[in-house]
């Protein structure tokens, strides 16, 4: 089964956390025998941000609505 990952960090200082999120979620997918087909990732604060301003998140939502993806880890 295929899956995608969504990872977000709120600032440049969170790069270690951001990379760790992706690593941890990749390991979890492997454990669950899922194939990660796409990683939606962005370094942006969600404070006072509309979904449309979060490019990767908006793209992921669009893909969900079009039924391109159905399994998401974040």
Q: What is the pTM of this model?
A: 0.76
Domain boundaries, the chain: 2-73
Average pLDDT over every residue of 59-66:
88
pLDDT digits (tens, 9 = 90+) for 15-47: 568 788 899 999 999 999 999 999 999 887 767
Per cent of the chain over pLDDT 70 is 84
* Residue 60: how many other CB atoms lie within 10 Å: 20
Measured in residues, the chain has a length of 74
- Contacts (Cβ under 8 Å, ≥6 apart) of 5: 22, 25, 26, 29, 36, 38, 39, 40, 41, 72, 73, 74
* DSSP conformation class of 48: T
Mean of pLDDT over the chain: 82
Containing 52, the helix (H) or strand (E) segment is: none
CATH class (in words) of the domain with range 2-73? alpha beta
């Amino acid at each position: 089964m295929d899956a995608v990952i969504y990872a977000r960090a709120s600032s440049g200082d969170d790069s270690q956390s951001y990379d760790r999120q992706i690593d941890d979620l990749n390991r979890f997918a492997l454990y669950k025998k899922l194939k990660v087909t796409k990683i939606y990732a962005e370094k942006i604060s969600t404070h006072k941000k509309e979904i449309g301003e979060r490019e990767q998140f908006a793209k992921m939502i669009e893909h969900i609505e079009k039924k391109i993806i159905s399994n998401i880890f974040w």
